[in-house]
Structure 1
Amino acid sequence: MKIISWNVNGIRAGGRKGLLAKLESLNADVICFQETKATEEQVAEVLFGSGYHVEAYAAEKKGYSGTAIISKVAPLSVVRGMAVDEHDNEGRLITADFGDCYVVTAYVPNSKGGLTRLPQRQRWDRDLTAYLQRLDAVKPVVFNGDLNVAHQPIDLANPKSNYNKTPGYSQAEIDGLSHMLQAGFIDSWRHQHPEDVCYSWWSMRSGARERNIGWRLDYQLVSHRLMDQVASTAILTDMHGSDHCPVELVLKA
């Protein structure tokens, strides 16, 4: 089972940049999208003809946030949000039940310049961890998404100049992901590549991608008991079309 996660930074723009052909080349069983910036109907329209079953979740604010899970086989059930009113108006979380495991995708809130949204972000991290623990008590979880945090210094090009100054690399955000991992989940790519330097997001300014001045913001976390079934993980840096690249996880049959 191949699972891809990709912040597409606008799925309609992606559609105009050849998204369907890219999906065909990825040949994944399940693809999780973040930052679709589209209504559920618009997501379905962009992906029409892809051969995938589409489940999307839009923000109340048009053209903002949004997530989707598409799959070759329809999930048994789908839940949108985490049943916490504060978090469930921006289309940030979808859970799909595929029988043997839950596949969850999230577009985690950015703490914004000056870390002005950090208190909300901390509440999100706390509530999301509790939600994932509830799922994990039922069956294993594969949690995919743009988590908007670089967890370790190795996960961004300039850790010293960004620490506690730039959203995505404050100690509070780092701690939020650490607590999630301590709650029973494994950062699958880092587990398999403990010393590799590889990024999944680059600023669209100043030629950052060409110079590889990036951050690893996109993760695929798995329940502890699922890690033995992870055959491979990858960050697909050669795949363009967004300021993020896709990340990939393959589970053994």
Structure 2
Amino acid sequence: MTFNLNNPSRERAERQLRYLARRPESVLVLTETASSAGCDLLERRFTAAGYSVTFPRPEQRGERGAMIVSRLETRPLETGVTYLPHRAVGVTVDSDEGPVDVIGLYVPSRDATEVKTERKRNFLQECRHRLLDGEGDAMRLVLGDFNVLEPGHVPRYRFFSPFEYEFYNWFGAAGYEDAFRHLHPEELDYSWVGRTGDGYRYDHAHVSGRLADRLTACSYVHEPRTMPDRLTDHSALAVGLAITATQPLQVSDPHHEPEPVPALF
């Protein structure tokens, strides 16, 4: 499952932790992370509970990235992305059919300024040139908050540029399938909704060709965004695959891990 944390405060991170600990997914791609008290809490508590946590911290103040939290044993996976590498995080897990690569992306957002536009353009170009493809026998998922839309998105928004649609199209050319579209060719659903009520399908999951036939589910989970005391401004995206993990970890409930008591002396 990919879940945009929206760089939580410590209090909101506690609530997110309670929610995420109850989710059935084995691997969580958490986006919009930062070097902050809230993300520190999530990393610390998941690690203390026995989860595998991969969190390359953004070094620049105000910068955002991604974290992968897993109930399965993981190995580091080099994504090859060297520009804003904390926004492209990879791990490998083992299954009964071989290794499965999981790559989490948090693509920069932009406005109309040249600086932010070039920053996003450069990151997307780096991903297209560096990320592993989905051809052949590879079992690979790339998921996260891409901050781009599919070219046929309904409604159509004029302010997206060709380079953003090109990034979405790259996945098809590289042997990937849009997991949501593979199972729901005509459905309109959104992971972020603006103040005017307009919806955007920003959060995506793309699977390599070999995994497309093993897709059992791919759907948006709106509860974190729509609940009265909402956890984040994005809906999550959950993906189900008909494969069996072979290296599960013994984990406890991270929400009930006690916080260390500060020493008085």
Report the TM-score range of the alignment, normalised by the length of the smaller protein. 0.7 to 0.9
How far is the alpha carbon of 1:151 from its aligned partner?
1.1
Q: TM-score under structure 1 normalisation?
A: 0.81
- Residue deviations 1:202-230 (CA, integer Å, cap 9, x gap): 23xx3x5xx4x220000010111210011
Counting helix residues as a fraction of each chain, which structure ranks higher? Answer: 1
Query: 1:97 maps to what in 2?
Result: 92
Distance in 1, matches of 2:163 and 2:176, equals: 19
Question: Does the aligned pair in 2 maintain the 1:38–1:66 contact within 8 Å?
Answer: no
- The separation in 2 between residues aligned to 1:48 and 1:132, in whole angstroms, is 27
CA 1:60 to 1:185, structure 2 compared with 1: closer, same or farther past 3 Å?
A: same
User: Matched residues, percent identical?
Assistant: 21
Tell me if 1:195 matches 2:190: no
Deviations 1:78-128 (A, max 9, x none): 44x6352x333xx21111011321000010122323464333433322321
Distance 1:136 1:68, change over 3 A: farther
State the superposition RMSD in angstroms. Answer: 2.5
Q: Structure 2: which 5+ runs fail to align?
A: 226-230, 244-265
Partner of 2:3: 6
**Partner residue in 1 for 2:18:** 21
Quickly say closer, same or farther: Cα 1:17–1:172, change in 2 above 3 A: same
**Residue type of the alignment partner of 2:80:** M
Distance 1:201 1:46, change over 3 A: farther
Native 8 Å contact 2:32 2:66 kept in 1: yes
* Count, aligned residues: 232
Out of 171, 181, 186, the residue aligned to residue 177 of structure 2 is 186
Offset of residue 176 of structure 1: 1.9
Whole-Å separation in 2 of the counterparts to 1:106 and 1:83: 10
Q: CA deviation at 1:138?
A: 7.7
Would the alpha carbon gap of residues 60 and 10 (structure 1) be closer, same or farther in structure 2, given more than 3 Å must change?
same
CA distance in 2, matches of 1:15, 1:115: 33
* CA–CA separation in structure 1 for the residues paired with 2:56 and 2:120: 20
Runs of 5+ in structure 1 lacking a partner? none
| SS of equivalent to 2:181 | helix
Any runs of at least 4 consecutive aligned residues in structure 1 with deviations exceeding 6 A, and if so which? Answer: none
